[in-house]
Amino acid sequence: MLSNLKVSFFLALRSLQRGNRGSIFLTILIIAMVFTNMIFLPSIVTGAVKNAERSIIDYSTSSIVIEPKQDDEYIFDLSDLLEKLNKVPGVERAAPHFSMGSMLQFKSKRLGSSVTAIRPNDERQVTKVWTRMKEGDYLGEGETGQVIIGNYVAGHKDTSEDFMPSLGGVRVGDSITIDYTNGVSRTYRVKGIVETQSYDADLSVYTTWDDMESVIGKPIDYANAVLVKTAPGLKESDVKNQIYKQGVQEQVKTWQDLISKAMGKAVQGYSIINGVTVIVSLVIAVVVLFIVIMIKTLNSRRQIGILKAVGIERSIIINNYLFQVIILTIIGTICGVILVEALISLMNIYPLHFPEGDIVPYVTPLELLTNSLYLFIVSAIAGYIPAWRVASEDILTAMRS
Amino acid sequence: MIKTKSLTKTYKMGKVEVNALCGIDLTIERGEFVGIMGPSGSGKSTLLHLLGLLDNPTSGTILLDNIDSKSLSDKEKTLFRLHRLGYVFQDYALVPELDVYENVSLLPMVRNLAKERYQKECNDILIKFSLSDRANHLPNEISGGQQQRVAIARAMVNRPEILFADEPCANLDTTNSTMVLDLCKEINIEMDQTIIMVSHEDWHLKYFDRVIHLRDGLIEKDE
């Protein structure tokens, strides 16, 4: 068996070494392109999904969000909860959010929005909004009379450049008036404008907890949500369990829980696109390799007949073509991997610009391995069938062809 | 060594049945150099293919060293051909991607012989057939006569019990044909090699120990 495989491999190697260089080069090129096609588009789609996930974690939800109990509007006994949360193993920091509806006004422009009160020092440890200041600075702890606003809220002087209602070109240092739903009206200096390319953050208005307490007129020991940042390397679901073990009664949701609801269908749709791309690529690979090996074997029918006549077993002949396909697929896949990696490197330098953020392709070694394996399997089938058909022919029929 | 009894072969050409062999009885002894001759369509190649286990008879028996060909499975026939029979074809039938040495060493490699052993035997046979200086050439880089010598070397390196040659000189000029036939005769005498050769050239007669003349699928003359 092993010696037969050795002979098959020897024949395959010689056939490739001394066969038609042009057709071998073209076959390798096609396999490389098929592999690139299998990986590249799905990697862009996966990159977009990963970008959305990253954006949600960094600028919206952090690792875990604590929400009010089922029938409550707020999380009560906030200070106790924060103390409890900050002691949970795996929790780096918890930061509360309190939002109140309002009407913003800049010159003659009015815009309905909610204002979110944050504790800037805690917030810096939980989200990355502070790193994405387009203009001006982030809020400081205890500051009052200042807000930071999202890029979409600020808008442009030429409102045709905005793709949603805005304040029409607010800049750092401008004053805006905020009429809260509790009847309080305040004028704020815009301290900074945030541009995260996350709708959630870019449509927000942030003020400090102290400022909001002055609006409410009393200390605020309740919140709409508490964002929790977990330590790197830990599974959010494990930390979630730890939080529940500490007796937290509120709803605890990891970012995955939130995404599965918000993006589940979209991710499912992307998976279908990826699957279709992979299947189409594999079908192309099968057809191309089938044709290549079919032509090769048909051109060698007489030679195959003679090899059988002189006593070479059919399996040796079939495996010879199988090895040829495998060698071509290995080289083609290696070329494909190099091409994909080159494209990914290039796109890391020059990412695709989308409103949701810059998208870079995302490929894991496991995906490369899995797709290579798929390609090998279909290539082997595509090579085996024509080789088997011709090698199964009657000796004299093959010899007379 | 070879014995046939009432050997027939009928081909179907569409709805028409063609009787290529109509009952051949013959015996060939070890060491004989047998020529099979006859006009086109007389059944020469069909007989050679049946004796060489390349095709199955419609009826009758073929005994090779008392082994009935019918008792062999396809795989056993393949192994029988590999280990005990040798073939030379009209158009040399060399593997175009293998050089001369590789073509000659292919069958010993398939037989899984020790590399050192078959390397020596291949080199020896290439020297004997005056091909050693062409060992690294591809078939398309050498002449027709040299290619046919390579084909004979390929068949002989396996030390077959019977060498079948199907019009080996059909594509060669007289000089190269003489060279090939001289080589076959030399092998036949020196190695007591049984050779069965199909030919339609009368001047080949002098090389054969025995000539079987076929006509219309029957033995017309055996001399």
Give the model's pLDDT for residue A185: 95
Q: Is B113 on the interface with A (CB under 8 A)?
A: no
Listed residues A249, A278, A295: the one ending a domain: A249
Assess if residue A33 is contained within a domain.
Answer: yes
Assess if residue A140 is contained within a domain.
Answer: yes
Query: Considering only CA atoms, which of A310, A307, A309 is closest in space to residue A319?
Result: A307
* Residues A282 and A185 grouped into a single domain: no
* pLDDT tens column, A96-141: 999 999 999 999 899 999 999 999 999 999 999 999 999 999 999 9
Q: Is B93 on the interface with A (CB under 8 A)?
A: yes
Give the model's pLDDT for residue A171: 94
* Residues A32 and A145 grouped into a single domain: no
* Residues A349 and A371 grouped into a single domain: yes
Between A356 and A207, name the one with better pLDDT.
Answer: A207
Average pLDDT score over chain B: 89
Q: Chain B residues with CB inside 8 Å of A10's CB?
A: 109
* Under 8 Å between Cβ of B101 and B150: no
Assess if residue A63 is contained within a domain.
Answer: no
Task: Using pLDDT thresholds of 50, 70 and 90, give the confidence band for residue A262.
Answer: low
Chain-chain contact of B93 with A303 (C-beta, under 8 angstroms): yes
Interchain CB contacts (distance < 8 Å): A and B: 70
* Residues A42 and A162 grouped into a single domain: no
Task: Using pLDDT thresholds of 50, 70 and 90, give the confidence band for residue B7.
Answer: very high
* Residues A128 and A173 grouped into a single domain: yes
* Residues A83 and A224 grouped into a single domain: yes
Listed residues A249, A282, A307: the one ending a domain: A249
Rounded to 5°, angle at Cα A190 from A187 and A192:
160
Give the model's pLDDT for residue A335: 94
Identify the closest residue of chain A to B85 by CA–CA distance.
Answer: A310
Chain-chain contact of A313 with B75 (C-beta, under 8 angstroms): yes
Structure token digits, residue B69: 């060909």
Identify the closest residue of chain B to A17 by CA–CA distance.
Answer: B97
Cβ density class A236-257: b for 16+ within 10 Å, e for less:
beebbebbeeeebebebbbbbb
Task: Using pLDDT thresholds of 50, 70 and 90, give the confidence band for residue A65.
Answer: very high
When divided into structural domains, chain A yields a total of 2
Give the model's pLDDT for residue A277: 84
Listed residues A199, A215, A249: the one ending a domain: A249
Between B91 and A93, name the one with better pLDDT.
Answer: A93
A312: nearest CB among B83, B85, B110: B110
Task: Using pLDDT thresholds of 50, 70 and 90, give the confidence band for residue A334.
Answer: very high
Task: Using pLDDT thresholds of 50, 70 and 90, give the confidence band for residue A58.
Answer: very high
| Rounded distance between C-alpha atoms, residue A54 and residue B81, angstroms | 68
The highest-confidence range among A33-42, A100-109, A156-165, A298-307, by mean pLDDT, is: A100-109
* Residues A179 and A209 grouped into a single domain: yes
Q: Which domain holds residue A128?
A: 69-249
Look up the ipTM and state it: 0.87
The highest-confidence range among A109-123, A361-375, B2-16, by mean pLDDT, is: A109-123
Q: What percent of chain B has pLDDT over 90?
A: 46
- Positive or negative, the Cα torsion across A254, A258, A260, A266? negative
Assess if residue A62 is contained within a domain.
Answer: no
Answer whether residue A286 shows pLDDT above 90: no
Assess if residue A257 is contained within a domain.
Answer: no
Q: Chain B residues with CB inside 8 Å of A303's CB?
A: 93, 95-96
Answer whether residue A264 shows pLDDT above 80: no
| Rounded distance between C-alpha atoms, residue B6 and residue B25, angstroms | 6
What one-character-per-residue DSSP string does B57-88 give?
-SEEEEEETTEEGGGS-HHHHHHHHHHHEEEE
Task: Using pLDDT thresholds of 50, 70 and 90, give the confidence band for residue A14.
Answer: very high
Answer whether residue A83 shows pLDDT above 90: yes
Give the model's pLDDT for residue A245: 92
* Residues A194 and A305 grouped into a single domain: no
